[in-house]
Chains A and B, each alone.
Chain A
Amino acid sequence: MKTVRAALWLIREVTIPSLRAYRLRAILTLVGVVIGTQVVVAVGLINRSVLASFDHTVETIAGRADLQVSNGSAGVPEELVATLAAVPGVASAAGLLQGTLTTDWGDLTVFGVDLFEDQTVRETQFPRKHVHIPDGLVFANSPDSIAVSSPFLTRAGLGPGREFKANSPTGQVSVTVRGTLDPAGPAALFGGAVGLVDFPTAQRLFARLGRFDQIDLILRSDANIAEVSRVLAPLVAGVGTLEAPQNRGAALGSMLAAVQTVLTLVSLNAVVVGVFIIYHTMHTAIATRRRELALARAVGYRQRALSTALVLEALVFGTLGSAFGILLGIGAARLSLGMVTAGIGAIWAHVDYAGLVVSARDILGALALGVASTVAAAAAPTVAAARMRVLDHLRSSDALVDAPHVASVRTLAPGILLTLVAFALLYSGLRPEGFSAKIALIMGSVVLAALGYTMLIPLITALLIEPVAALGRRFAGPTTVLATENIARDPTRMRGTIAALMVAFAMVLIVSAFIHSMRTSILSWVDQTLAADLQVSPTAQLPLPSSPTLSGALEARLRAIPGVAEISPSRMINARIGDTLAVLRTESAGGFARQHYPLVAGDAATLQQRFAQGDVLVSDNFAYRHGVRAGDSLTLDTPSGEATFSVAAVVLDYTLDIGTIIIERETYRRFWHDDLVNSFRLWLAPGADVTRVRQAISDAARPEFSPVVLTAAEYKQNIAGALDDALLMTYAIQLVAIAIAVIGVVNFFLAEIVDRRREIGLLRSVALKPRQVLRMLATEAGVIGAIGGIVAILYAWPIAHALITRSTRLVSGWGLTFVFPYGLALVTIAVAAATSILAALYPARTTAATRVADLVMVE
Chain B
Amino acid sequence: MRMPVTMPDLTLSIELADVSKAYQRGGSEVVALRDVSLAVPRGEFLSVMGPSGSGKSTFLNLVAGLDIATSGEVYVAGRALREMSDDALTDLRQTQVGVIFQFFNLLPNITALDNVALPLRALGGARRTTEEKALEALARVGLNGRAHHRPIQLSGGEMQRVAIARALVIDPSIILADEPTGNLDSLAGAEILDLLREHNRERGVTVVLVTHSAIAAAYGDRVITLRDGQIVDEVITRPEKPAPHLRPVS
Chain A residues with a Cβ under 8 A of chain B: 1-3, 5-6, 9, 13-14, 17-18, 20-21, 291-292, 295-305, 389-391, 394-403, 858-859
Contacts and interface: CB of A to CB of B under 8 A. Distances in A.
Nearest to A390: B66
B23 A6 contact: no
13 contacts: A3-B124, A5-B124, A6-B123, A9-B122, A296-B122, A297-B90, A298-B99, A299-B122, A300-B91, A389-B67, A395-B103, A397-B179, A858-B103
A299 B167 CA distance: 8
Given A297-B90, A298-B93, A391-B66, A6 B103 contact: no
Interface bin, chain B: 35 or more
B123 A403 contact: no
B11 interface: no
Q: Which 4 A-B pairs have the closest CB atoms?
A: A17-B109, A300-B94, A2-B124, A9-B121
Given A303-B87, A400-B32, A403-B24, 12 more contacts: A6-B124, A291-B105, A292-B107, A295-B107, A298-B64, A299-B119, A300-B93, A300-B119, A395-B101, A397-B52, A397-B103, A859-B108
Chain B interface, DSSP helix/strand/loop, else mixed: mixed
B182 interface: yes
A686 B28 CA distance: 82
Most buried by A among B121, B159, B179: B121
B109 A20 contact: yes
Given A298-B93, A300-B170, A391 B122 contact: no
Nearest to A394: B105
Nearest to B210: A397
Nearest to B64: A298
Interface stretch (B12-20, B53-61, B214-222, B240-248): B53-61
A299 B123 CA distance: 10
Interface of B: 23-26, 30, 32, 52-53, 56-58, 61, 64, 66-67, 86-87, 90-91, 93-95, 99, 101-110, 114, 118-119, 121-124, 151-152, 159, 166, 170, 178-179, 182-183
B122 A300 contact: yes
A305 B122 contact: yes
Contact of A394 (B58, B95, B101, B152): B101
B178 A396 contact: yes
A399 B99 CA distance: 15
Nearest to A17: B109
Contacts, number: 119
Given A291-B105, A396-B103, A302 B179 contact: no
Contacts of B152: 859
A403 B29 CA distance: 11
A16 to B, nearest CB: 8
A296 B122 CA distance: 8
Nearest to A19: B109
Contacts of A390: 66
A466 B249 CA distance: 47
Contact of B123 (A292, A300, A303): A300
Most buried by A among B56, B67, B105, B122: B122
Contacts of B121: 5-6, 9, 13
Contact of A302 (B30, B90, B108, B159): B90
A301 B90 contact: yes
B166 A396 contact: no
Contacts of A295: 105, 107
A396 B61 contact: yes
A106 B178 CA distance: 84
Contacts of B94: 299-300
B106 A859 contact: yes
B67 A391 contact: yes
Contacts of A3: 124
A323 to B, nearest CB: 27
A529 B153 CA distance: 81
A5 B122 CA distance: 8
B184 to A, nearest CB: 12
A266 B86 CA distance: 44
Given A2-B123, A391-B67, A396 B101 contact: yes
Most buried by A among B86, B151, B166: B86
A402 B107 contact: no
B160 to A, nearest CB: 11
A610 B26 CA distance: 75
Contact of B104 (A21, A299, A301, A859): A859
A642 B104 CA distance: 89
Contacts of B104: 858-859
Contact of B66 (A2, A291, A296, A298): A298
Nearest to B32: A400
A304 B57 CA distance: 27
B90 A300 contact: yes
Contacts of A389: 67
B53 A398 contact: yes
A512 to B, nearest CB: 41
Given A305-B122, A400-B30, A298 B105 contact: yes
Nearest to B182: A397
A401 B213 CA distance: 24
Contact of B159 (A303, A305, A396, A859): A859
A401 B90 contact: no
B61 A391 contact: yes
Nearest to B170: A300
Contacts of A5: 121, 124
A398 B30 CA distance: 13
Given A401-B23, A403-B25, A299 B99 contact: yes
Most buried by B among A18, A302, A305, A401: A302
Contact of A397 (B90, B102, B119): B102
